[in-house]
Structure formats: C-alpha cells, structure tokens
Amino acid sequence: MPDTVNNIAAEDHLDFENDVADLDRQMKELRRLTSIKGIDYSAETRRLHQEQVAQLKRIYSNLTPWQTVQVARHPKRPILTDYLHLMVKDFRELHGDRSFGNDRAIVTGLGQIGREKVLIVGQNKGRNTKEKVACNFGCPNPEGYRKAMAKMKFAEKFGIPIVTLIDTPGAYPGIGAEERGQAQAIAVNLAQMSRLRVPIICIVIGEGGSGGALGIGVGDRLAMLEFAYYSVISPEGCAAILWRDGSQAPLAAEALKLTSKDILKLGVIDAVIPEPLGGAHRNLHDNIYNVEQYIIKTLRDLKRTKLDNLLENRYKKLRSIGAASSEKLRRKTQAAADRIAVALQAISPRSKKVPAKV
C-alpha cells in the first residue's frame, strides 16, 4: 500500500512526532512480514494508516508556535528550487546586481506560472551542504537585495508582474554586509517596492526572518504558508535579549505571535495558504499546487485593478499595519487626518473636496 501521508524518512521526524514515527515503524514491520512470510496484513496496515492520519491531524491542528518554527525549518521542507522546478515553466534565471556581484541567496528570473509570465524573486536556502554554503544558508547580502531591485525595475519597465517567495532566517550579519550597506539596500527595496507599477505578490514559504524577509516582502498581497513563520526577530534572538537566555526560544516564539494564524488576525498578511496534512515536507506536490493556485487566482484579481488604484491600495494596506490593531489608535489617526484635511482647506481655498466629517 503506497504511503502517501508520511513519505518521509524515520530520521526526519520532528521530536513531537514520536507517535507518528512509531506507527511508521510498525507498518514497516508488517510490510516486511508480508514480503517474507506471505501473510496478508493489509487490514492491519490500513488501520495503522488511518491511525497515523488521525495522529497527524491531531498534532498539526495544535502545533505550538515553537513547533511551527521547527516545521518551517524542517530540512526536507520545499525550498525555492523545488518551487522553480515544479511550479515555474521555462525559468530563465537573471544574475547579478551590476555593481558588486551575484548573491546566490536571492534568485531572480523570468518564468511562467500557469499562463502568467512573471518575474520570480526568491530566497534560496540550498538542499545539500555544498548548495547551502553557496547560497549562504539563505541569508542574503546587500548585493542580493540590489539584484532583486534591479530585476524588479526591469520587470516594471515591461509590465511583468512580480512574485516573491520568502524563505530566510534573516539578512546576513557580517562585516562585508555592513560595509556594503545591508540596511540601505533593504531600505531602498522597501521604499521602491511600495511604488513599483506592477502587481506584486509576496509569499512566505518557510522562514520569514525579520528585515531580511521584508526586503523582498512589500507588495499588493502578502500570504503565508500555514506552517511558515514571520517575525521581527528570531525566537532565539528575542529570548537572548528579553529572557537573557537563548534556550528560552519556545517562550519567545509564544510571545512573538509569529504563526500564520496569529499574523492573519493582526492584519499584517492577507491570506494563509493551507499546507497538506503533516506539513509541506510530507507532500511537496500538493503544497506547491496550493501555492500555484493562490498565485494564479490572486494575479488574475490584481491585473483587473487599474495601476493607479493598485498603488493607492498598496499604500493604504501598508499604512494600515498596526493602526488597525487599536481602536484608540485608529480614532486618533483619523482625527489627525481630519486635522490635516481642515488645515489643507485653510491653505488652499481652491481645493475641491474635503472629506466630510461625521
């Protein structure tokens, strides 16, 4: 019987999945017995299989924030190259930032998703050690962000929509990165991406680590995979500062509200893309199909909007982050906006429309 639920190796089980691993071992034993002794254990296997599905459902519907972080960092979790292979047709990678080098932690290129021609910008972590070292474990340097910007400008020129796939522990903290202006590179991306005259979809597919993630994460839609995380600081970093003990990361993860469910409630993201049972690493194809469908559907919506409105909506969306979390804050913001409107009216008597105050 093909095992479609748990097609991962025994050593890839996370420490909170012991029950699932146990069932795995039992089923393996039954299969071995079947092949050696020719006894039909299919009924038992089916039962174990059902139980495993139930276990996975139970575990994955109640993941703690720290467990979510572990799933997001799972070594078998689909990374950018998987998406490029399975989701993007006819991918043409474009290299280099034209001023310093080619950062392999950020991959940019043209490709086709569904019927849409898009520019893909994504952070790549690498699968094996060699790849991981080559792309710096997914930690981009400034030239990576500048490459992304250069290619996005190119896409803007030809009206090609942009899809960014975010998966980084954070921008690289190194001497060279500081010398070449990591902060400035990210800042410029944030400002420019808010004004690019093409639709932009951003999806956090794994780790959304702070400014490094945000550096390619400003757009019309921001979505997250169900078990991805997105945070202002890594749980370890937060624990080291506030708890003065890096090993308190589970507590920090709890406090930071970094899971897709919580962030959706905070209004920072627009959608959560569901993952297959037991996380993306258990079923690559279904997961990537979900992402593909989200991109195709969202792109169709965004392309219907006029560019000026698109930009206006994007600004409003960014502008509303945090403001919506507090009624008090919103009221006061509104009051300030009203005051500005009134002041404006006083300055230019020719201004036509002043929003009516309720």
Partner 1 sequence: MGKEAKSNWDGFSLKPRREMPEGLWMGCPGCKHMLYRSSVEKNLSVCPECDYHFRIGADVRIKHLADEDSFAETLGDLTSSDPLGFKFRGTTYKQRLRDDEKKSGSKEAIRIGKAFIKGRGVVLAVMDPNFLMGSMGSVVGEKFSIAAEMAVEEKLPFVAICCSGGARMHEGVVSLGQMAKTSAAIARLDESGGLFISVLTDPTTGGVTASFAMLGDCTIAEPGAMIGFAGRRTIAETIKIDLPEGFQTAEFMLEHGFVDMIVHRKDLRNEIARLIDYCHK
Smallest gap from Cβ 305 to partner 1, in A, equals 18
Residues 6+ away with beta carbon under 8 Å from 37? none
Residue 272 identity (one-letter amino acid): V
Q: Which is nearer to partner 1, 49 or 221 (CB)?
A: 221
Straight-line distance from the first to the last Cα atom of the chain, in angstroms, rounded to the nearest whole number: 66
Asked if 192 and 162 touch (Cβ cutoff 8 Å), the reply is no
Task: Give the three-state DSSP class for 223.
Answer: strand
Task: Give the three-state DSSP class for 227.
Answer: coil
Nearest-angstrom CA–CA distance, 117 and 249:
41
Smallest gap from Cβ 243 to partner 1, in A, equals 6
Smallest gap from Cβ 144 to partner 1, in A, equals 14
Smallest gap from Cβ 149 to partner 1, in A, equals 13
Q: Which is nearer to partner 1, 30 or 255 (CB)?
A: 255
Nearest to 199 by CA among 259, 274, 113, 265: 113
Write the CA distances from 22 to 2, 12, 28, 211, 260, integer angstroms: 18, 13, 10, 40, 29
Q: How do strand 271-273 and strand 106-113 relate by DSSP bridges?
A: unpaired
Q: Which is nearer to partner 1, 80 or 233 (CB)?
A: 233
Write the CA distances from 18 to 45, 71, 82, 259, integer angstroms: 18, 14, 27, 23
Q: Which is nearer to partner 1, 11 or 327 (CB)?
A: 327
Smallest gap from Cβ 16 to partner 1, in A, equals 23
Q: Which is nearer to partner 1, 39 or 133 (CB)?
A: 133
Smallest gap from Cβ 253 to partner 1, in A, equals 10
Q: Which is nearer to partner 1, 95 or 257 (CB)?
A: 257
Q: Which one-letter DSSP state was computed for residue 259?
A: B
Smallest gap from Cβ 110 to partner 1, in A, equals 25
Residues forming contacts to partner 1 in the complex (CB under 8 A) are 171-175, 177-184, 186-188, 190-192, 194-195, 210-211, 214-215, 217-218, 230-233, 237-238, 241-243, 251-252, 255-258, 263, 266, 268, 314-315, 318-319, 321-323, 325-329, 332-333, 336, 339-340, 343-344, 347
Q: Which is nearer to partner 1, 7 or 325 (CB)?
A: 325
